[in-house]
Amino acid sequence: MWSVLATRRSPGAVAEWPSSASVGRVRGESSGVTAVTHLTVSLKGPAMKLARLARRLFVGAVAASAATTLTLTATPSVAWATGGSAAPSGTRSLAAVLTSDTSGFDRRPHDFDILTSAVLAVLSAKPTSPVKVLTDGTVALTAFVPNDAAFQRLVQDITDSRRCPSEEQAFTAVAGLGIDTVEAVLLYHVVPGATIDGKTARRSDGAALTTAAGSTVTVDVKDWHVVRLVDKDTNDRDARVASFDINKGNKQIAHAIDRVLRPSDLP
Is the pLDDT assigned to residue 40 strictly greater than 70?
no
**How is residue 162 annotated by DSSP?**
S
Per-residue pLDDT at 66: 40
Per-residue pLDDT at 23: 35
Region 82-102: mean pLDDT is 86
Per-residue pLDDT at 15: 37
- What is the full DSSP assignment across 40-85? EE---THHHHHHHHHHHHHHHHHHHHHH----TTPPPSS----TTP
Is the pLDDT assigned to residue 90 strictly greater than 90?
yes
- Please indicate, yes or no, if residue 253 is contained in any of the structural domains: yes
- Please indicate, yes or no, if residue 231 is contained in any of the structural domains: yes
Rounded CA-CA distance 170/238 in Å is 20
- Please indicate, yes or no, if residue 78 is contained in any of the structural domains: yes
Is the pLDDT assigned to residue 136 strictly greater than 50?
yes
Least confident of 17-31, 120-134, 227-241: 17-31
- Rounded to the nearest 5 degrees, what angle is found at the Cα of 90, between the Cα atoms of 86 and 91? 135
Distances in Å between the alpha carbon of 184 and those of 11, 129, 244? 28, 10, 23
Least confident of 32-36, 134-138, 230-234: 32-36
**Do the beta carbons of residue 263 and residue 231 sit within 8 Å?**
yes
Is the pLDDT assigned to residue 108 strictly greater than 60?
yes
Per-residue pLDDT at 71: 41
Per-residue pLDDT at 158: 87
- Please indicate, yes or no, if residue 263 is contained in any of the structural domains: no
- The tens digit of pLDDT for each residue in 187-197 reads 999 999 999 99
- Please indicate, yes or no, if residue 126 is contained in any of the structural domains: yes
- Please indicate, yes or no, if residue 262 is contained in any of the structural domains: no
Is the pLDDT assigned to residue 32 strictly greater than 70?
no
State the distance between the two ends of the chain, measured CA to CA, in whole angstroms: 25
pTM comes to 0.76
Per-residue pLDDT at 265: 74
Q: For the chain, how many structural domains are there in total?
A: 1
Instruction: Write out the residue range of the structural domain in which residue 216 sits.
Output: 2-257
* CATH number of domain containing 74: 2.30.180.10
Closest CA to 253 of 119, 73, 97, 149: 97
- Please indicate, yes or no, if residue 168 is contained in any of the structural domains: yes
Rounded CA-CA distance 84/179 in Å is 41
Q: Which of 31-35, 127-131, 156-160, 224-228 has the highest mean pLDDT?
A: 127-131
Rounded CA-CA distance 185/165 in Å is 20
Region 36-48: mean pLDDT is 41
